[in-house]
């Protein structure tokens, strides 16, 4: 199987080209199971990813005595395989037909093949962890897996619940999304020795905050796109149909003037029509929900910049700020 090419997002980071290509090589060498249907299923998703998480591992390895070291490459590849596995399993749970603009594995190949593909990618992750041969990295991976599972179970428990608090939602996305960002940056600084003991306090906060901002911005953009996608005839409102209520819905539910009507629409669950989904969008837009979410994004972004500013080397600060801007402005 040919190694995929690097996404164009990394043209702005030429120093990462060689180590990221090494990550891709590691990954491609680990996903040949020998069963054509599984291999084809995994291959169908490979070129759509942006490699953000292994790039974070490599960038944060610059804070160690040996940037872009072999362990960082193996750990970066392992975290991307874990990410791919969680996406595949998510699509099975949510019955998503699309992933990254392409037909999802579960839609194209069936749920059984998707389960096997996701499980196989997890074995690839453990194989690369074994190659890294680092007990500390193993513990970080275990903690991240526990956090991801907690996030998934929290989402399952909260389905169709209209009375969950926003703090509960933050805890949920801290597991589902932020845990992998946190693992990525911690893999970077654990790949070799570091001189500054404070990094082990600052770096995980950077990863977690970046992950939370990334997810909240996703919530904002997904909701903003609802009406546009409806006009284009694209599938819309899958989260709402599945009872997964993101920040815009949760904030809008706090508005007493629209609360009852919004509840009645959400209670339609999978039977909600496109017209009714558009009404949900109108109600949320009429509230202060999007304004509140925007203010929260500004607050979290300020916190992120303050954390990045505590890093010891200016060139690394600049690189991470540049990557954060690209990610949070969706310039890819």
Sign of CA dihedral 168, 106, 271, 284: positive
User: Which residues, at least 6 apart from 40, have a Cβ–Cβ distance to it below 8 Å?
Assistant: 109
Taking 70 as the threshold, does the pLDDT of residue 112 lie above it? yes
Each domain of the chain, given as residue ranges in start order, spans 13-328
Percent of the chain with pLDDT over 70: 95
**Does the pLDDT of residue 1 top 60, yes or no?**
no
Give the pLDDT score at 331.
Answer: 65
Q: Which CATH superfamily is domain 13-328 in?
A: Farnesyl Diphosphate Synthase (1.10.600.10)
Between 110 and 5, name the one with better pLDDT.
110
What is the per-residue pLDDT for 197? 86
| Average pLDDT estimate for 224-238 | 73
pLDDT per residue as tens digits for the range 116-171: 999 999 999 999 999 999 999 999 999 999 999 999 999 999 999 999 999 999 99
pLDDT value at 279 more than 70: yes
At 101, the pLDDT band (50, 70, 90 cuts) reads confident
**Tell me, what's the pLDDT at 235?**
66
Q: Give residue 117's pLDDT.
A: 93
- 3-state secondary structure string across the chain: CCCCCCCHHHHHCHHHHHHHHHHHHHHHHHCCCCCHHHHHHHHCCHHHCCCHHHHHHHHHHCCCCCCCCHHHHHHHHHHHHHHHHHHHHHHHHHCCCEECCEECHHHHHCHHHHHHHHHHHHHHHHHHHHHHCCHHHHHHHHHHHHHHHHHHHHHHHHCCCCCCCHHHHHHHHHHHHHHHHHHHHHHHHHCCCCCCCCHHHHHHHHHHHHHHHHHHHHHHHHHHCHHHHHHCCCCCCHHHHCCCCCHHHHHHCCCCCCHHHHHHHHCCHHHCCHHHHHHHHHHHHHCCHHHHHHHHHHHHHHHHHHHHCCCCCHHHHHHHHHHHHHHHCCCC
- Distance between CA atoms of 157 and 169, rounded to whole angstroms? 11
| 279 against 231, higher pLDDT | 279
Instruction: Provide the pLDDT for residue 233.
Output: 61
For residue range 194-206, list pLDDT tens digits in order: 988 899 999 999 9
Average pLDDT over residues 40-46: 79
3-class DSSP state of 193: coil
Q: For the residues 32-49, what does the mean pLDDT come to? A: 78
- Whole-number average pLDDT of the chain: 91
CA angle, 177 as apex, 235 and 188 as ends, to 5°? 135
Q: Using one digit for the tens of pLDDT, what is the confidence trace for 59-69?
A: 999 999 999 99
Dihedral of alpha carbons 209, 27, 103, 122, sign: negative
- In Å, the largest CA–CA distance within the chain is 58
pLDDT band at 332; cut points 50, 70, 90: low
pLDDT tens string 302-315: 999 999 999 998 98
Q: What is the pLDDT of residue 190?
A: 96
Whole-angstrom Cα distance, residue 293 to residue 216?
Answer: 8
Range name among 81-95, 177-191, 221-235 with the lowest pLDDT average: 221-235
């Amino acid at each position: 199987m040919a190694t995929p090419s690097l996404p164009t997002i990394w043209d702005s980071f030429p120093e990462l080209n060689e180590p990221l290509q090494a990550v891709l090589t590691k990954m491609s060498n680990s996903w040949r199971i020998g069963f054509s249907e599984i291999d084809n299923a995994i291959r169908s998703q490979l070129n759509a990813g942006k490699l953000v998480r292994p790039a974070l591992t490599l960038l944060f390895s610059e804070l160690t005595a040996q940037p872009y070291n072999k362990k960082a490459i193996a750990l970066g590849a392992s975290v991307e395989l874990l990410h791919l596995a969680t996406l595949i399993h998510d699509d099975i749970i949510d019955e998503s037909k699309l992933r990254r603009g392409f037909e999802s594995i579960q839609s194209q190949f069936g749920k059984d093949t998707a389960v096997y593909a996701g499980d196989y990618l997890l074995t690839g992750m453990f194989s690369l962890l074994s190659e890294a041969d680092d007990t500390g990295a193993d513990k970080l991976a275990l903690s991240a897996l526990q956090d991801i599972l907690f996030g998934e179970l929290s989402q399952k428990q909260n389905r169709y619940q209209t009375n969950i608090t926003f703090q509960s939602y933050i805890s949920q996305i801290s597991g589902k999304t932020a845990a992998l960002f946190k693992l990525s940056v911690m893999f970077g600084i654990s790949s070799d020795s570091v001189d500054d003991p404070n990094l082990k306090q600052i770096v995980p906060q950077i990863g977690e905050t970046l992950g939370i901002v990334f997810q909240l911005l996703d919530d904002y953009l997904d909701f903003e796109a609802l009406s546009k996608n409806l006009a284009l005839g694209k599938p819309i409102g899958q989260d709402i149909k599945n009872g997964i209520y993101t920040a815009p819905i949760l904030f809008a539910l706090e508005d007493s003037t629209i609360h009852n009507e919004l509840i009645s629409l959400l209670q339609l669950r999978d039977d909600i029509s496109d017209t009714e989904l558009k009404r949900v969008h109108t109600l949320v837009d009429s509230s202060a929900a999007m304004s509140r979410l925007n203010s929260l994004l500004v607050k979290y972004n300020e916190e992120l910049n303050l954390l990045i500013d505590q890093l010891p080397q200016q060139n690394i600060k600049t690189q991470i700020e540049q990557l954060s801007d690209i990610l949070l402005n969706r310039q890819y």
